[in-house]
Structure 1
Amino acid sequence: MMNRIKALLGAASAEESADPGERIQVATCVLLLEMAHADETLHTLEAQLVGDLLSRRFDLPQKDVDELMALADRERHQSHDLFQFAKEINAHFSREEKLEIMDTLWRIIYADGVLDKYEDALIRQLATLLRLTHREMIDAKVAVLDELNPGR
């Protein structure tokens, strides 16, 4: 993985140089990290949620997850928009897989117990970019809230 990461860093962008599997990993990680940073504070639990999803989804050891997160964070800072990353996910993920990402996005939002206006705007944008309906986005939100606070 380290050699692939180094090769990606030497290229103009991860999208131009990585194989499709790596581009999907980077794209997924970028969207998750963008949400984790939406309120300007990356909480430990948010970083843990991102790492857990990446590890489970792509069957990566922690070392590779850390490298992927570092690469994706650089890609996130160099990018002007999220469309290129959502496009990659739309091309390779099923609706169920995209709903899994939506579930994780809501978990990241509620990791600090608060939905702020920037997170709210970003989740709506990501739902649209991932071609998910408003209903699917809200259903994922309600499921996460019910799990986090069963007696609400």
Structure 2
Amino acid sequence: MIAKLKQFFKELQDTPDPQQQTHSINLAAACMLLEVVYADEHLDGAEARLLPHLLEQTLGIATTDASELIDEARRNRNDATSLFQFTSVINEHFTLEQKQQLVLSMWQLAYTDGELCRYEDQIIRRCADLLYLKHSELIQLRNRAIERQHHDE
């Protein structure tokens, strides 16, 4: 399984097909979001409802595409050996603004259930570090997610 995931990301680098490449990039982002969802060992109903919306917003994809991407990310999730596999793809293809939007989405997922578990915090901080975001950006994005959470309540 791990070999299959490594092959998948190698093909991403070798694939000239823009549609396949875009799908692979989106899959990497979806896998990162799922890491936050499963950090506390369970999928909360609010997280399950928010995840497709965040994928639509972050990646600019349709609802049906978001649902399919989530299903595929769930299947691939256990094959990953490290977050670096996902963040390296994101670093290669996302702009700074897109990276920030992805980390903001991660914070939003983490705060959806009303509390931040330490594992969610660790994953987001590690991803932000691997995405070369500054600590000040990380804190700004976290604060924006908290503000949105309070606004939605």
Q: Shared fold by TM > 0.5?
A: yes
Displacement of 1:31 = 0.2
Matching of residue 130 in structure 1 with residue 131 in structure 2: yes
Q: Which residue of 1 aligns with 2:140?
A: 139
CA distance in structure 1 between the partners assigned to 2:54 and 2:145 by the alignment: 15
CA distance in structure 2 between the partners assigned to 1:115 and 1:139 by the alignment: 16
Q: Which runs of 5+ in 1 are unaligned?
A: 1-10
CA distance in structure 1 between the partners assigned to 2:101 and 2:148 by the alignment: 15
Matching of residue 105 in structure 1 with residue 106 in structure 2: yes
4+ residue stretches of structure 1 with deviation over 4 A? none
Amino acid at match of 1:15: F
Using the size of structure 2 for normalisation, the TM-score is: 0.83
- 8 Å CA contact retained: 2:37, 2:110: yes
- Say what the alpha-carbon RMSD is for the aligned residues: 2.0
Q: Which runs of 5+ in 2 are unaligned?
A: 13-19
Amino acid at match of 1:99: Q
Matching of residue 114 in structure 1 with residue 115 in structure 2: yes
Matching of residue 12 in structure 1 with residue 4 in structure 2: yes
Matching of residue 78 in structure 1 with residue 79 in structure 2: yes
Structure 1 residues 146 and 61, CA gap change in structure 2 (3 angstroms): closer
Displacement of 1:55 = 2.2
Deviations 1:48-95 (A, max 9, x none): 222112223444333322221111112111111110110111111111
Using the size of structure 1 for normalisation, the TM-score is: 0.83
SS of the counterpart of 2:39?
Answer: coil
Displacement of 1:17 = 4.4
CA distance in structure 1 between the partners assigned to 2:149 and 2:62 by the alignment: 27
CA distance in structure 1 between the partners assigned to 2:102 and 2:25 by the alignment: 12
- More deviation in 16-25 or 73-82? 16-25
CA distance in structure 1 between the partners assigned to 2:69 and 2:146 by the alignment: 29
Alignment size in residue pairs:
141
